[in-house]
Amino acid sequence: YHMQVSQQDVLDVTMCPSEHEVPDFAKFTFTPRKILPKETPCFIMKMMKDLGFIDTFKIKSDNLARFILYVRKGYRDVPYHNWSHAFSVAHFAYLALTNFQLVEKGYFTQLEALAYFISCLCHDIDHRGTTNSFQQQSNSVLASLYSSEGSVMERHHLSQTICTLNTGGCNFLDALSKDDYVKCLDLIKDMILATDLASHYKIHSRQLAMAQEGYNKALPEHRYYLASLLMTCADLSDQTKDWKETKKVAQLIYAEFFAQGDLEKGMGRVPANMMDREKASIPDHQLEFLTQCCICIFRILATIFPNAKILVEAIKQNIICWESSKRIFDRLCIEGKTSYEVLV
C-alpha cells in the first residue's frame, strides 16, 4: 500500500462533527446509499461508537480513522462492488446488531459483533467487478494464487483486509489480547469467505434445518451457520429496500455482469446468459434470484429473528415489481418497441 492517506484526512475523520442525528438511520427501511460518500467514514465511526466497540476494545480513533480511509481506498471504481456497496453492507450489520440485539441476547459475543461489522466493511476490498469463474477463465494472478482452495475473490478480499490491518498506524485492534486478536482474525476469515454465494448454496439446507430445529447458541456449527447467514443477508440487503433502490442496484450489478460478458466475448468465450447483454432478461433472472435464493435466506433469518419479517415483505414487494416490469417489457418487445436498457 504505497497509496497515502493524509494526516489531515485522518484528523477530519477523528474530529467528526457530533453527527446531526439522521432520522431513521437505525431502521431497516433506511437506504444507506443516500449518505454522501465524503460523510461515510464519519458514519462508520458513529456506528462503531454506537455499537460500543470503541470503549469495549479501547480503539484509538486515529488508528480506526486511518484504517477506514485505507479500506475505502482499497475499493475500486467499478459499477457495483465499490465503497458504497461496502458501506451499505456494513450499515446492514449495524441494523442487525441493534435491531436483533445480537450481543444483548447472546447470539454474538462483543468480539463476534466487531468481527461481523469489520468483515462486512472489508468483504469486497479490491473487487474488480468480475466473478470467481472469470478469474479461472482469464488465468488471473488471483486465480493462480487461490484457485486451488476456491472462493478466489473472497480469499483476496481477506488478504487485503489483513494487509490493511498491518499497514502502519491502521491496527485499531492492537489493544486486544493475543487470544482475542487471533480469534477476531479467525472470525473475519470465516465471515468474509462466507460471502462467496457458491459457498452459501452448499450450506443453505443446513441453515434451514438449524432454523427449523431451533437455533442453539451452545452449538459451534449453529453459531457458524448464523454468522454465515448474517453475512449473506448483509451482502444482499439492497434487495430488502424499496423498489426505486432495488431497481437502481440491479442496473449497477448488470453493468458489471455485462461488462464481464463483453470481456468474455472478446476472449472468444461464450458468457453465461446473465452476463450477456444480448441474451439476458433481467426481470426473469432477478425473479429467479429473488424467489429461489434471496427470499429463502431472509425467511430463515425471520424464523430466528421475528422482526426480520419486514425484510421478507420488502423482497415480496420487489418480486411483484419485477413481475410487472416483466409484463411491460414483454409487451414492448412484442411491439418491437425497445431494447432492454431503455426499460430498466
Ligand X SMILES: Cc1nc2ccc(C(=O)N[C@]34C[C@H]5C[C@H](C[C@H](C5)C3)C4)cc2n2c(-c3ccccc3Cl)nnc12
Helix ranges (H only) for the chain are 7-14, 40-50, 53-56, 61-74, 83-99, 110-122, 132-137, 141-146, 152-165, 178-193, 197-213, 220-235, 243-266, 282-289, 295-304, 309-334, 340-343
Cβ closer to ligand X: 176 or 236?
236
Contacted by 289, from Mg ion, ligand X, Zn ion, none: CB < 5 to 8 Å by type? ligand X
Site string for Zn ion, 71-110 (x = CB under 5 A): ----------------------------------------
Q: Which stretch binds ligand X (CB under 6 A): 31-39, 47-55, 193-201, 332-340?
A: 193-201
User: HEC states along 209-224?
Assistant: HHHHHCCCCCCHHHHH
Please confirm, yes or no, whether 81 is among the known catalytic residues.
yes
Residue 337 CB-density burial (10 A; 0-12 exposed, 13-18 middle, 19+ buried): exposed
Least distance between Zn ion and beta carbon 225 (Å):
19
Q: How many amino acids of this chain bind Mg ion (CB under 5 A)?
A: 2
With binding defined as CB under 5 A, does residue 195 bind Mg ion?
yes
The correct pick among 26, 175, 185, 197 for binding ligand X (CB under 6 A) is: 197
With binding defined as CB under 5 A, does residue 124 bind Zn ion?
yes
Contacted by 197, from Mg ion, Zn ion, ligand X, none: CB < 5 to 8 Å by type? ligand X
- d(CA 11, CA 5) in angstroms, rounded, equals 11
Site string for Zn ion, 232-271 (x = CB under 5 A): ---x------------------------------------
Could you say which of 2, 20, 81, 156 is catalytic? 81
| Residues 325/343, Cβ–Cβ less than 8 Å | yes
Among 222, 214, 233, which Cα is nearest to 304's? Answer: 214
The correct pick among 120, 142, 253, 311 for binding ligand X (CB under 6 A) is: 253
Angle between helix 309-334 and helix 295-304 axes, rounded to 10 deg: 170
Q: Which residues are catalytic?
A: 81
